[in-house]
Amino acid sequence: MGDWDALYATRTKNMRASEIRELLKLLDQPDIISFAGGIPDPALFPKEAIKEAYDAVLSKNADIALQYSVSEGYRPLREWLVQHMASLGVSCTIDNIVITTGSQQALDYLGKLFISPGDTVLTTWPTYLGALQAFNAYEPRYDRLNPEQGNMTPAAYRDSAKAAGGDVRLAYLTADFCNPTGETVSREGRSRLVELAHELNIPLIEDAAYRALRFDGDPVPTMLALDCEREGHIDRTRVVYSGSFSKTLTPGLRVGWVCAAQPVIAKLVLIKQAADLHSPTINQMAIHHVAERSFDKQVEKVRDSYRKRRDYMLDALARFMPAGVTWTKPEGGMFVWVTLPDGMDGAALLAKALQKARVAFVPGFAFYADGTGKNTIRLNFSLPNKEAIETGISRLGKLIAEEAI
């Protein structure tokens, strides 16, 4: 009897559970204060509106809700998204939109569409861990984007990719309130990235999962809007916008979308048809029902809540962190990114934090394509309440001070 390990395709050899996942398993103990997760506060879910939505959908349109459907997604939801994208400065039609089972699925399908083994993916250091996991199935290498301090030249990216045996095939980043850093790319930084994508002739994936969660400051145009402006029409753009209802309405229904040039959408529809036929119709209809009636109100509610918690966390960090520790000041999203004193290791600190301080977070190296960033950690503020934030950051600050001696 052969061993299963010998049977798997090469692309799966390095798959392993994410550090976050492993970490969350440790968090069953109720006395641990967790800043580790990246999940919304369930108290903010529009439960009544969602319940009413399922009731309405199943009372009036059960035959559609329960039957097979088209891979593009539920047409009225795509129509609603056309309006939503217009509010972001993007003029498009339903042929520029495909519904996905959460935005994670969009990353998988985009990897499938663009990455061959040995090709190069450009991304920020650090970047969303789930994007690395999704792309890794297609066996790329990574090179670094640095939209503010200075990207490499197109020629340098190309040479580096060719030396590694492939081509530069896509660029990926979260421009608004990045997971994990909470930081936002400036308008100039975005324009440079759009320019780079055109120069390299590659898609630029704009992960907009946190886009709606701006607490203060002025919105920066989406890269897709900048590219539409540059090109005069969405079908000539290179930006692939990946949106999600997970952070605004609810993640449990798994509804996201991609908005991009029509040829890309047409290919994603073919990929989706072969990969899962379509996202659950009933959930698309329920999301449409809720979005149409109360999207803006819901976003406002979530923003107000997370803004307060961001403030509690920044206050607590200022009060309790010892000298030598720095952190980002996010204008939105769900995370603060902390840089530890020189030489301190986030993973080692986590082990001690769980044991001694009963506090959890995610070590920053997990978000680096090359495993660097060891002296960083990610703190989530969307789930813990004021008291947990103050107590947890106080304990963490004390531990870091002890360790830094």
List the interface residues with a second copy, window 102-141 (CB under 8 A): 102, 104-105, 108, 112-116, 119, 130, 133-134, 136-138
Q: Is 4 a residue that touches a second copy (CB under 8 A)?
A: yes
Q: Which of 1, 163, 323, 405 binds a second copy (CB under 8 A)?
A: 1
What are the tokens at 110? 């985009």
Q: Is 94 a residue that touches a second copy (CB under 8 A)?
A: no
Burial class from Cβ neighbours inside 10 Å (0-12, 13-18, 19+) for residue 221 reads middle
Burial string for 69-102 (b: 16+ CB within 10 Å, else e) reads bebbbbeebbebbbebbeebebebebbbbbbbbb
| Smallest separation, CB 183 to a second copy (Å) | 23
Q: Is 351 a residue that touches a second copy (CB under 8 A)?
A: no
Q: Is 12 a residue that touches a second copy (CB under 8 A)?
A: yes
Q: Is 11 a residue that touches a second copy (CB under 8 A)?
A: yes
Check: CB of residue 116 under 8 Å from CB of residue 164. no
Torsion angles phi and psi, residue 162, rounded to 5: -65, -40
Sole residue written with tokens 């993973």: 347
Q: Is 149 a residue that touches a second copy (CB under 8 A)?
A: no
Q: How far apart are CA 217 and CA 205, in angstroms?
A: 24
Which residue, 274 or 405, has its beta carbon nearer to a second copy? 274
Q: Is 332 a residue that touches a second copy (CB under 8 A)?
A: no
Site map for a second copy, 281-300, x if CB under 8 A? xxx-----------------
| Smallest separation, CB 76 to a second copy (Å) | 15
| Smallest separation, CB 151 to a second copy (Å) | 19
Write out the H or E segment, with its range, that includes residue 276: helix 262-276
Which residues are within 8 A (CB) of 277 and not within 5 positions of it... i.e. 6 or more apart? Answer: 68, 71
Q: Is 26 a residue that touches a second copy (CB under 8 A)?
A: no
Stretch that binds a second copy, among 50-58, 86-94, 209-217, 309-317 (CB under 8 A): 50-58
Check: CB of residue 172 under 8 Å from CB of residue 131. yes
Q: Which of 229, 276, 292, 315 binds a second copy (CB under 8 A)?
A: 276
Check: CB of residue 188 under 8 Å from CB of residue 333. no
Which residue, 18 or 391, has its beta carbon nearer to a second copy? 18
Q: How far apart are CA 73 and CA 269, in angstroms?
A: 9
Q: How far apart are CA 235 and CA 258, in angstroms?
A: 14
Residue 89 — left, alpha, or beta (φ > 0 → left; ψ -120 to 50 → alpha)? left
Q: Is 343 a residue that touches a second copy (CB under 8 A)?
A: no
Q: Is 50 a residue that touches a second copy (CB under 8 A)?
A: yes
Q: Is 247 a residue that touches a second copy (CB under 8 A)?
A: no
Q: How far apart are CA 79 and CA 99, in angstroms?
A: 11
Q: Which of 23, 33, 65, 234 binds a second copy (CB under 8 A)?
A: 65
Q: Is 7 a residue that touches a second copy (CB under 8 A)?
A: yes
Q: Which of 120, 124, 222, 279 binds a second copy (CB under 8 A)?
A: 279
Which residue, 134 or 175, has its beta carbon nearer to a second copy? 134
Sole residue written with tokens 């399922």: 54
Which residue, 84 or 169, has its beta carbon nearer to a second copy? 169
Which residue, 174 or 250, has its beta carbon nearer to a second copy? 250
Q: Is 22 a residue that touches a second copy (CB under 8 A)?
A: no
| Smallest separation, CB 237 to a second copy (Å) | 10
Length of the chain as a residue count: 405
Binding residues for a second copy restricted to 168-197, rule: CB under 8 A: 169
283-289-295-298 Cα dihedral, nearest 10 degrees: -80
Which residue, 31 or 48, has its beta carbon nearer to a second copy? 48
Cα-Cα-Cα-Cα dihedral sign, residues 217, 326, 323, 305: positive
Q: Is 9 a residue that touches a second copy (CB under 8 A)?
A: yes
> Helix or strand or coil: residue 380?
strand
Count of residues in contact with a second copy, rule CB under 8 A: 81
| Smallest separation, CB 248 to a second copy (Å) | 12
Taking only Cα atoms into account, the Rg of the chain, rounded to an integer number of angstroms, comes to 21
Q: Is 273 a residue that touches a second copy (CB under 8 A)?
A: yes
Check: CB of residue 265 under 8 Å from CB of residue 95. yes
Q: Which of 147, 203, 330, 384 binds a second copy (CB under 8 A)?
A: 203
Q: How far apart are CA 116 and CA 124, in angstroms?
A: 20
Q: Is 333 a residue that touches a second copy (CB under 8 A)?
A: no
